[in-house]
Amino acid sequence: MILRSLFDLESKRVQIDKLNKERLDENFWQDQKNASQINKEINTLENDLSEIINLDLLIGDITASIELLNMDEDKEILKELKSSIIELETKINNLEIKKMFKGKTDFKNAILTLHPGAGGTEAQDWVEMLYRMYLRWSEKKGFKVNILDFLAGEEAGIKSISFEVVGEYAYGYLKSENGVHRLIRISPFDTNKKRHTTFASVDVIPEIEDEELIDIRDEDLRIDTYRASGAGGQNVNKKDTAVRITHLPSSIVVQCQSERSQLTNKTAAFKILKSKLLEYNRIEEENNLKNLRSDQKEIAWGHQIRSYVFQPYQLVKDHRTNIEAGSVDSVLDGELDQFIKGFLYGGE
């Protein structure tokens, strides 16, 4: 089939055979880091192989259904055919995007941190809308979302949130979302029903693996504990379980308060810090240091990567690629792949 050639099926099989031979070496597990990396590579290749084979089978089913319809216009067959074509389009789109993942960290899980810009409750509500958008997108991809840090807004929305997206190539997909997102709508919090322009920042970094070494000296850290915000009543946290870690040389600050245990929150905070430092060092080595901390980038006009417009018309526009979508609701319901693909094609 054409797909087997297009997605280099035989090459993947050769790579799997080669890596499996390496696994048979009696000294394979002496280098734990290398062994773990090879196992992950084999799993990724086998998953890709399975996707291509299943895609081939689906095309075969579609071809057979078309042939049957040419002989007898059966409504049930037509209904199944339409469903299969939609499924085929989605799977081809996913494979097409995967082919573009060439970065060393693209295969990793992603850690996202969302912060509101100026605007109080309206901006905090926008953060909650964005979080829901990434949650819905993750659900559609079959990815898991774990909240690492969460601070609710006083009236509505979210003051700040950090969460990890666990799934194959999560960072490769979501790195395109890094930047300032602008919302234009008539605010439900404005009694005068005026149109508001609101901003929120999205920071995306790859999750560091346990075996990746990052040199963090104790004297470079300031660790603060504080009382996590609760929902009130019996749910109010009575102990200082929330953890904030400041890395003094880089001024990177991370915090976690999503768990009741201080130890668990500290572990999660260290995970975020290590990931941020790894990305910080990577960018510095490339002599193209970018600010990783959300408070280092002005969350305002002129910095947005994408605009979501509800009024006076409906439009979502990515300012880096000029890709547009006419349904804001669909995008906020997790339909992001067109923007992700455009970003990857653009080589950003």
Question: Residue 292 falls within a domain, yes or no?
Answer: no
Residues 152 and 116 in one domain: yes
d(CA 47, CA 41): 10
Cβ pair 178, 202 in contact under 8 A: yes
DSSP string, 218-230: GGGEEEEEEPPP-
Residues 165 and 58 in one domain: no
d(CA 19, CA 14): 9
By three-state DSSP, how is residue 317 classified? strand
Residues 133 and 232 in one domain: no
Residues 92 and 117 in one domain: no
Question: Residue 290 falls within a domain, yes or no?
Answer: no
pLDDT at position 326: 94
What's the structural domain count of the chain?
Answer: 3
Mean pLDDT in the chain? 84
Residues 83 and 10 in one domain: yes
Question: Residue 342 falls within a domain, yes or no?
Answer: yes
Residues 22 and 86 in one domain: yes
Question: Residue 104 falls within a domain, yes or no?
Answer: no
DSSP string, 147-192: EEEEEE-SSSSEEEEEEEEESTTHHHHHGGG-EEEEEEEE-TT-TT
Q: How many CA atoms lie within 13 A of 197 on its CB side?
A: 10
Type of residue at 250: S
In tens, the pLDDT along 96-123 reads 888 788 888 898 899 999 999 987 899 9
The torsion region of residue 180 among left (phi > 0), alpha (psi -120 to 50) and beta comes to beta
Question: Residue 318 falls within a domain, yes or no?
Answer: yes
Q: How confident is the model at residue 40 (pLDDT cuts 50, 70, 90)?
A: confident
Q: How confident is the model at residue 174 (pLDDT cuts 50, 70, 90)?
A: very high
Residues 128 and 205 in one domain: yes
CATH number at residue 78: 1.20.58.410
Mean pLDDT of 54-61: 88
The domain boundary residue, chosen from 246, 262, 285: 285
Place of tokens 């996913």: 94
The domain boundary residue, chosen from 98, 133, 155: 98
Question: Residue 294 falls within a domain, yes or no?
Answer: no
Q: How confident is the model at residue 229 (pLDDT cuts 50, 70, 90)?
A: low
* Residue 325 domain boundaries: 110-211+300-346
pLDDT reading at 178 higher than 80: yes
Residues 139 and 273 in one domain: no
Q: DSSP code of 234? A: G
CATH number at residue 128: 3.30.70.1660
Mean pLDDT of 119-138: 95
pLDDT reading at 325 higher than 90: yes
Question: Residue 224 falls within a domain, yes or no?
Answer: yes
Question: Residue 105 falls within a domain, yes or no?
Answer: no
Which residues fall within 8 angstroms of residue 196, CB to CB, at 6 or more apart?
119, 122, 183, 184, 185, 186, 187, 190
Q: DSSP code of 118? A: S
pLDDT reading at 296 higher than 50: no
Q: How confident is the model at residue 237 (pLDDT cuts 50, 70, 90)?
A: very low
pLDDT at position 140: 93
CATH number at residue 268: 3.30.160.20
Residues 24 and 161 in one domain: no
* Of residues 130, 154, 302, the one with CA closest to residue 202: 130
In tens, the pLDDT along 248-294 reads 988 889 888 876 788 888 888 888 888 888 777 767 765 544 454 44
Cβ pair 177, 105 in contact under 8 A: no
d(CA 57, CA 120): 52
β-pair type (304-309, 179-186): parallel
Residues 267 and 315 in one domain: no
Give per-residue burial for 60-85: e unless 16+ CB within 10 Å, then b. Answer: eebeebeeeeeeeeeeeeeeebeeee
Residues 82 and 67 in one domain: yes
Alpha carbon of residue 230 to chain centroid: 27
Residues 21 and 66 in one domain: yes
The domain boundary residue, chosen from 74, 98, 122: 98
pLDDT at position 212: 58
